[in-house]
Structure 1
Amino acid sequence: MDRNRLVSVIMPTYNAGKYLADSVSSILDQTYLDLELLITDDGSTDPVTLDILHKIEERDSRVDVLYLDHNHGAGYARNKSIERARGRYIAFCDSDDRWTPDKLEKQIAFMNQKQCALSCASYIIFNLNEQKSVGINIAPPKITFSMMKRDNKIGCLTAIYDTQLLGRKYYMPTLRKRQDWALFLLILKDCKVCYSYPSQPLAVYCRHKHSISSSKISLAKYNIAVYRSILGYGWLKACFYFAFLFLPTYILKLMKRKQDSYCFVKRKG
């Protein structure tokens, strides 16, 4: 493998079961061949998950699995994978999401063209219970630190950053949830801008009844925690940002996503 082209794919797993095989296949079947898949299993007890993990690491030398003895949370598991990463590029995919076959090929070429340290892409929303595409999240063409303070605009399953330009110093903050938003805020403090691949969605976010993001209201305290622990805001300022910047921006984003998804589903139909 060419270390200057190598992409280290970070995947946490925890009782992912039947969804895991499709996610892993979507990574290993990429048209871009210089990759390693670094899985950290966060104390799974599900025999289906463990069986899949044992089989894929035996079958493909690009797969490296670390088994934790008990559950720590997705952020901790991702960091254990980042610690083992050898690649120039760090990419993320959760164990129930999927990539399009040409995601890495197109996105890495785009990053080289733009000379950017951080990139993302739009993604399709797929309902696993109904087994159909139900929407799309279209990423803004250019995302700045100021925009990210208002709301997370980078889908973690599409994000890639370049350690050659940024260094190997970024890890998920030790928050139980919203670590991805916190991480991208820290990166954007340094690189200033994230560019989005413009032509098509490059990943599939799989929504099901167990998805963490299915209960956004319950995540309010974690959003406030990001303002406090990552940006260093006091309690009152953090609550102000959440109430008057985050919530209005997030509601507008949901409305836009709903309209975009309606057009996407109608066009497909």
Structure 2
Amino acid sequence: MKDFGLVSIITPTWNCARFIEKTIQSVQAQTYQNWEMIIVDDCSTDDTYEVVKPYIDKDNRIKYRCNEKNSGAAITRNNALKIAHGRWIAFLDSDDLWKSDKLEKQLSFMHNHSLCFSYTNYVEIDENSKELGVKVTGPQKINYFGMYAYCWPGCLTVIYDSSVVGLIQIEDIKKNNDYAMWLKVIRKARSCHLLNETLAFYRKRVGSISNHSYMSLIIWHYNLFREAEHRSIITSIFCVFINLCAGVLKKILFVKNYNTL
């Protein structure tokens, strides 16, 4: 297998003791083994550290850090990115999973097509890792304006080339911090490309952002464009409107139901 260089896997965590072991195992099971997994704990109050510790002790590719104080997902991802050594930056939240050939296939795809920013399809699972019969995909190619229109890539599927993009640090916003990151990445990468294969599992949990009201989503999107992107009030409102329209389009074109039986 070709060695494409070190992959830094960014894994923020907070109170995910129930799920993080399977997440780590899905990384260790990768057919592509040149990786480091950077777990940054946002001051969990459960047994997250106790679950992670045996893996840290046995596998020096797994690195664990803890924030000095509870800081939220944006700062936690920033802290992980600051200590990443890999050329390739991948993202995997501490309750999500990868298929075993995810890194190998995606890095090969990026190498073969000279890409520096890509994503894949994913399927939704429940808290017991049962597939929910929903597959999420997206446009084959997303340019700068397309990324402003909507956050198409699932965070758990993204890889970008840090030798092109550089160190990314985002504003401290409560929600949509992954979207804020892609908007910064796309400025350097110019485009994001889809590997049209299902290589990841997104865990849909009770109380997740996807289960909040439309009004909450509107406010969080407005804050993204106004606070993280520093756009004017009018431009931020316009971007939220475009996002709402694109969200409808995504459900029609890119969210597919399938039979799990």
Q: Which residue of 2 aligns with 1:203?
A: 200
Q: Give the structure with the larger helix fraction.
A: 1
Partner of 1:175: 173
C-alpha separation between the residues in 2 aligned to 1:132 and 1:203?
11
Q: Which residue of 2 aligns with 1:148?
A: 147
Alignment of 1:188-267 (within 5 A): 188-198=186-196, 200-215=197-212, 217=214, 218-243=216-241, 245-258=242-255, 260-261=256-257, 265-266=258-259
Measured after TM superposition, the shift of residue 228 of structure 1 is 1.8
Q: Deviations over 1:163-220 (max 9, x none)?
A: 12222x212332121111111111112221111112x211100111032332152122
How many residues of Structure 1 are paired with residues of Structure 2 in the alignment?
259
Check whether the contact 2:126–2:204 (CA below 8 A) recurs between aligned residues.
yes
- Superposed CA deviations along residues 27-70 of structure 1, whole A, max 9, x for unmatched, are 111100100000000000102x1211212111211111001243
Q: Which amino acid aligns with 1:89?
A: W
Distance apart, 1:233 and its partner CA: 2.1
Conservation of the 8 A alpha-carbon contact between 1:93 and 1:157: yes
Match of 1:32 in 2: 32
- The SS at the match of 1:202 is strand
Q: Distance in 2 between matches of 1:78 and 1:175?
A: 12
SS of match in other structure, 1:122: strand
The amino acid of 1:228's aligned partner reads R
Question: Does the residue aligned with 2:198 lie in a helix, a strand or coil?
Answer: coil
- Shift in Å, 1:3: 9.3
Structure 2 segments unaligned to the other structure (5+ residues):
none
CA contact (8 A) 2:138 2:250 kept: no
User: Residue 232 of structure 1: CA displacement?
Assistant: 3.1
Unaligned runs of 5+ in 1: none
- Please say if residues 123 and 131 of structure 2, whose CA atoms lie closer than 8 Å, have aligned partners that are also in contact: no
Distance apart, 1:257 and its partner CA: 4.3
Measure how far apart 1:145 and its partner are: 1.1
State the partner residue of 2:5. 5
CA-based RMSD of the aligned residues comes to 1.9
How many angstroms apart in 2 are the aligned matches of 1:46 and 1:6? 31
Counterpart code for 1:203: A
SS at the partner of 1:106?
helix
Amino acid of the structure 2 residue aligned with 1:223: H
The answer as to whether partners of 2:78 and 2:170 remain within 8 angstroms in 1 is yes
The alignment's TM-score, normalised by the length of structure 1, stands at 0.90
Q: Which amino acid aligns with 2:98?
A: W
Distance 1:86 1:237 in 2: 36
Q: TM-score, normalised by structure 2?
A: 0.93
Moved more, 143-152 or 5-14: 143-152
Q: In the superposition, relative to structure 1, how do residues 62 and 227 fare at CA in structure 2: closer, same or farther (>3 Å)?
A: same
